[in-house]
Structure 1
């Protein structure tokens, strides 16, 4: 037998095996009255090779599944059974009412090299997550974020000067560069106790470069790397692969641990997220001396070995959660700011109305922004909410079943270890919940209209106990940046502005080739 014949036989056998597995999966779901949309692994690969963006693929899957008129649709992905949930009532059950069945996010295998990723609140599971969340939640209260507001405002003023300088030599700019510097400057000062030096040079600073290495890119080498980690963990360990760049992990570990040790040596306190976490760690040490709550005692007993809260908030744990802030703040918050500017450029009437509110607020506040004044602007809040609807930074939520779960309204029992996916991007574009979904209309979120919105069809920050812990931080940052920009510039489309918008294949919503806009200085 020739080599060609052997290869052909192996290939044919593989195809037959895959076909058999697909039919088995189809029968598994359809016997319970649930449509089967196929193996998500194939869709994932198809999108990669055809260049379909990550978030675009979620919306496409939503439309395809909705055409079947289901509440849920079955699929498999990388060997895991998954239910795509389209019904807001079931979504409410998963995220809130039956949260005890879905405490864990759908995080894939974490290689040993990703020592920071393993200690992030994002990836922790069960009691470890509950305990750390309870320790970190007080650091995200209104009072704590108000402590950091002056740092946000300083970065906002730097952003204005940067844009002014850029517009002196050109009538358009890629706003991605300005918002990248702003987001990193806020995170560096308010989170990591560092000077980003982002606005001291036109090119990206070292802090920006390291933050950029945090992005999960689903193209080329990044895709192949991720596939090996997801499909063959032992091989990934053997090859020394990691989800996140090792140089980036070393950079942040060295810089942040240095800051921690320096302030401890000098017995100084900072006004930043590191200080808030150090205070949370101090509270933990006091609790260990006899003040643990019943829940905390139980959680500590269940924790295995080094998995206690004390270890999760050791220096590496603090670094990990600072890096989580970089990951979320540099990527998703930047996305919100970019698309807010884009929407305002394409909707001048909205921009004019927002500018009027901002000017009135500044007049009433002595010409300066404050935490209170930023959050009192109702139209600004409406614009932000509509931006998050049309351009959700995260297009999909995923939760893993920690115990068998009878899916409400169906005969289907979701087994422990299987997952639920919630297609945020698709829900946000569904005319059933948002009439004329392609239209940018902040009035959807006016006081009288907001109550009509199904809150489980609008999920930019998730919902329930495992929603985004940094929501207040992100909204404050974004609102301030947009207010500074609209106060100082008229934002308009330029020759390079993407109309309609096209997205990259990154894990969050990013414009292809940058966000080019014309910003004309307003002289007050």
Structure 2
């Protein structure tokens, strides 16, 4: 009986102690005079198990005259940026205070996670400097014929499928196209996923994207508590996915080094960094950084892996959603096709790099897709040293996470009137000039923007040009209207497949 009494007293004393602890933690933003969304014990104001895009959108709508809204994940204070000038400070003007994404990585147990997207500090700066020459316009022009050749194979595969069916699931088909492109351009390997939907490259790439190792709850906690997740040896990559990609990269590197093969592709550049800690620049200059350090094999594999993932998934999702909107908006589809035919006539029917770059309305159509459906709906930054917010007395402390609500900005009617309307003219040069310079963030901005944006835009446009020149895209009875997005996905991806009717012109 006495033991029960003691337990009851402990519980009675513990409850107010816990309450006071949370009250103290949840006074962080109030004490600093920052507007915030009222947290709830114990998960704060952002439930870690909820979809990030929807959660952050709620905070954006709660914006005031202050440049950001305070929030809590559990008891950790985070920032949701709501003012475009403040976002420009973070991404560009005061970038040195916000250099990191704050994405956890574990090079010991999960070597493929230590890639350019997740790396921090000087290690990121050094690698970014060395990898940037891969994505110049000169390199894109060099890779153009390779992408074009795979697009022709894509057309042949499509033609075969249309002999027996009119309604196709285009999401997987487009992912097979972009997988073959990236496999060839990054690894110098024929993936053959257009011929074989179960090809290993496609199988393991799909598994990594569609079947994450952990649910939203654990994944978010890993980013909030990176040291704790490393201690528990938590990983983001399936063991068999790691084994496959590490094996493919090892085979490729060994074969090229043994036979002294140079292909002027992404893998070639990584091999140079592994062996010499530098690369030959566009004009033959030696591009180097203050800290000279050769890439380890594991670091090389991680960069090849993130280029593969970023290249196949983001471009295939963009193409899928573009075709969906063109099926809904036949007038825009007709305008794109008219421009394609007009420019190709000028180039004697041949699609060249210069011809592609003259198709401005086609590019605007892709950009409008990325405006309406930003593949990364939330951008992340971490404050790496104490920072005073411009025009205020508020100090953002080192280690604070900042979330930039890209989807919400792209759907703000004050920035993009009638935001649900699909309108490529939003990206005409005159309309772009009238908007804030960071009103479009599908590729991020500043020194840490998407390094592969040129490549992604190129392969998306080539595929779109090939498709619209030869086929008409229509909705089918199986098309998803309205669109439903996968709530478990880190990126913005439609739930299930994307069925469209494709008609040969």
| TM-score computed with the length of structure 1 as normaliser | 0.87
Structure 2 counterpart SS, 1:82: strand
Paired with 2:4 and 2:322, the residues of 1 have a C-alpha distance of 56
1:145-170, CA deviations, whole angstroms, 9 ceiling, x for partnerless residues?
21111111122112222222223333
Structure 2 counterpart SS, 1:37: coil
Cα gap change, 1:286/1:269 in structure 2, threshold over 3 Å: closer, same or farther? closer
1:259 corresponding residue in structure 2: 252
1:35 corresponding residue in structure 2: 35
Q: 176, 186, 189: which is aligned to 2:184? A: 189
Which aligned pairs between 1:98-497 and structure 2 lie closer than 5 A? 98-108=94-104, 110=106, 112-118=108-114, 120-201=115-196, 203-215=197-209, 221-223=214-216, 225-226=218-219, 229-230=222-223, 236=229, 240-280=233-273, 284=277, 296-297=289-290, 300=291, 309-310=293-294, 313-497=295-479
Cα gap change, 1:285/1:146 in structure 2, threshold over 3 Å: closer, same or farther? closer
Contact 1:95/1:465 (8 A) holds in 2? yes
Structure 1 counterpart SS, 2:146: helix
1:9 Cα offset (Å)? 9.2
Contact 2:48/2:216 (8 A) holds in 1? no
2:53 corresponding residue in structure 1: 55
Between 1 and 2, higher relative CO (CA 8 Å, sep ≥ 6) is seen in 1
2:497 corresponding residue in structure 1: 514
Contact 1:398/1:422 (8 A) holds in 2? yes
How big is the alpha-carbon RMSD for the aligned residues of Structure 1 and Structure 2? Answer: 3.0
1:415 Cα offset (Å)? 0.7
1:247 Cα offset (Å)? 1.1
Structure 2 counterpart SS, 1:173: strand
Length, aligned pairs only: 498
Paired with 1:10 and 1:354, the residues of 2 have a C-alpha distance of 71
Paired with 2:428 and 2:378, the residues of 1 have a C-alpha distance of 26
Paired with 2:7 and 2:235, the residues of 1 have a C-alpha distance of 32
Deviates more, 1:158-167 or 1:146-155: 158-167
Contact 1:47/1:57 (8 A) holds in 2? no
5+ unaligned residues in a row in structure 1: which ranges? 301-307
Paired with 1:491 and 1:3, the residues of 2 have a C-alpha distance of 74
Contact 2:104/2:118 (8 A) holds in 1? no
Cα gap change, 1:464/1:46 in structure 2, threshold over 3 Å: closer, same or farther? closer
1:205 Cα offset (Å)? 1.4
1:14 Cα offset (Å)? 8.0
Paired with 1:5 and 1:521, the residues of 2 have a C-alpha distance of 81
Cα gap change, 1:315/1:391 in structure 2, threshold over 3 Å: closer, same or farther? same
1:151-202, CA deviations, whole angstroms, 9 ceiling, x for partnerless residues?
111221122222222233332111111111011001100011111110122x
Contact 1:493/1:517 (8 A) holds in 2? yes
2:88 corresponding residue in structure 1: 92
Structure 1 counterpart SS, 2:393: coil
Cα gap change, 1:443/1:254 in structure 2, threshold over 3 Å: closer, same or farther? same
Paired with 2:299 and 2:48, the residues of 1 have a C-alpha distance of 37
Cα gap change, 1:114/1:44 in structure 2, threshold over 3 Å: closer, same or farther? farther
Larger proportion of helix: 1
Structure 2 counterpart SS, 1:104: coil
Paired with 2:331 and 2:286, the residues of 1 have a C-alpha distance of 55
| TM-score computed with the length of structure 2 as normaliser | 0.90
Paired with 1:7 and 1:262, the residues of 2 have a C-alpha distance of 68
